[in-house]
Amino acid sequence: NENGEVDAAPESNESEYLSPVTVGGQSLNLDFDTGSADFWMFSSSMPLSQSQGHSTFNASKSSTWSVYKGASWEISYGDGSSASGTVGFDTVDIGGATVTSQAVELATGVSGSFTSDVNNDGLVGLGFSSINTIQPQQQKTFFENIMDDLEQPVFTADLEDNATGSYNFGTIDPSEYTGDIHFTAVDKSNGFWEFASDTYTVGGNKSQCQTCSPAIADTGTSLVLVDDDVAAAYYGQVSSAVYDSSQGGYTYNCTESLPTFGIAIGSDYTATLQGADITFAQIDSQTCFGGIQGNSGGGIQIMGDILLKQFFAVFDGGNETFGVAEK
Ligand SMILES: Cc1cc(CN)n(C)n1
């Protein structure tokens, strides 16, 4: 089998997790993103003004590289960042799991936030290829390419709080979690690991949703973005909380103890966050920015790293399910 395991190292501000990937013999640190389906890297054919400080992939130095003639890609993400470029195929090795002809996208241009995030050399999309942006023909993700060669058609994410976690392809390591894994069915029709989430709790009190947007498990998003009525209900229980449009979200006094927040993972399990695990950033001597924010009516609820790092997450491509376990 082709199983593989790599570290997932948190960026300084825990805004993302980076993992080492070898492409055509060249190693880069990439952000594994279950919320998109493009595998792209900073490349030597970018203006230096955009790639300064990054590791870049140099296709001319890879003996296994082949160009996908005439192909291109262009992607924009929920945070307003974007990238675009050209396409080829190469051997990709993630912790020993190897795909010999993975569609690899080379950036010729990226938006400012990618340039300034010097630790991030690109993304490994682990969503479904129906949202891959390569033209004229969409290409499969690394996981879709390797799934049938794995011991089990799964990958797991053990993201940690202020510590290095891991991604594992092909096995569910019992040492990485406790108790049961609570699975729910995934609807992949929008290209995401998407599932129903119709109830939530604040301070242990359960409420039925009003908007009830489906949720996605998104390792590439830092925050938990819930329907606006849910965010308002949560921060309504935080006495110093205000919606600060200059910060783009709810802020509160860092000394305030926050209530727990729970979100349904399908119909049988509520993933509960402790109040102490909900703050995303301190923005001045007294003010904190919440890790739970509204989705501005976006129509999906995004379960990002603030939640995922408190659990062991299983992405099952065989059963098309998503599961979480405590750890
Ligand atoms: C670069 C990037 C990836 C994601 C999540 N899919 N976001 C919000 N930004």
Distance between CA 4 and CA 239 in Å, rounded?
Answer: 46
Return the pLDDT at 265.
97
Cα(320) to ligand 1 centroid in Å equals 22
Instruction: Check if 36 has its Cβ closer than 6 Å to any atom of ligand 1.
Output: yes
By the 10 Å C-beta count (0-12 exposed, 13-18 middle, 19+ buried), 48 is classed as exposed
Is the bond preceding residue 136 a cis peptide, omega within 30 degrees?
yes
- Per the document, the length of the chain is 327
Distance between CA 142 and CA 273 in Å, rounded?
Answer: 31
Summarised one tens digit per residue, pLDDT across range 83-133 is 999 999 999 999 999 999 999 999 999 999 999 999 999 999 999 999 999
Q: Can you tell me which residue has the tokens 């007294």?
A: 286
Q: Which of 18, 170, 31, 176 is nearest to 98 (CA)?
A: 170
Distance between CA 96 and CA 3 in Å, rounded?
Answer: 7
Return the pLDDT at 14.
85
pTM of the entire structure?
0.99
Of 218, 227, 228, 305, catalytic: 218
Instruction: Check if 77 has its Cβ closer than 6 Å to any atom of ligand 1.
Output: yes
Q: In this structure, are strands 224-226 and 292-294 parallel, antiparallel, or unpaired?
A: parallel
Instruction: Check if 35 has its Cβ closer than 6 Å to any atom of ligand 1.
Output: yes
Q: Can you tell me which residue has the tokens 């965010």?
A: 231
Q: In this predicted complex, what is the ipTM?
A: 0.98
3-state DSSP helix/strand/coil percent for the chain, to nearest 5? Answer: 15, 45, 40
Tell me whether residue 33 is one of the annotated catalytic residues.
yes
Q: Which of 316, 80, 296, 325 is nearest to 188 (CA)?
A: 316
Distance between CA 28 and CA 151 in Å, rounded?
Answer: 26
Direct distance between the N- and C-terminal alpha carbons of the chain, in angstroms, rounded to an integer: 27
Distance between CA 243 and CA 13 in Å, rounded?
Answer: 22
Return the pLDDT at 1.
62
With beta carbons less than 8 A apart as the criterion, state whether 54 and 123 touch: no
Q: Which of 207, 216, 206, 203 is nearest to 260 (CA)?
A: 203
Mean pLDDT for each 10-residue chunk of the chain (327 residues)?
93 93 98 98 97 98 98 98 98 98 98 97 98 98 98 98 96 98 98 98 97 98 98 98 98 98 97 98 98 98 98 98 98
Return the pLDDT at 2.
87
* Residue 166: count of CB within 10 angstroms of its CB: 19
Q: Can you tell me which residue has the tokens 């399908």?
A: 266
Return the pLDDT at 243.
98
Distance between CA 256 and CA 245 in Å, rounded?
Answer: 21
With beta carbons less than 8 A apart as the criterion, state whether 49 and 11 touch: no
Tell me whether residue 316 is one of the annotated catalytic residues.
no
Q: Can you tell me which residue has the tokens 């912790």?
A: 95
Which residue intervals of the chain are DSSP H helices? 48-51, 112-116, 142-146, 228-235, 305-308
**Atom 4 of ligand 1, residue of closest alpha carbon:** 220
With beta carbons less than 8 A apart as the criterion, state whether 241 and 231 touch: no
Instruction: Check if 81 has its Cβ closer than 6 Å to any atom of ligand 1.
Output: yes
Cα(90) to ligand 1 centroid in Å equals 24
Put the strands of the sheet holding 292-294 in their side by side order: 194-195, 215-217, 301-303, 224-226, 292-294
Ligand 1 atom closest to residue 113's alpha carbon, by position in its atom list: 1
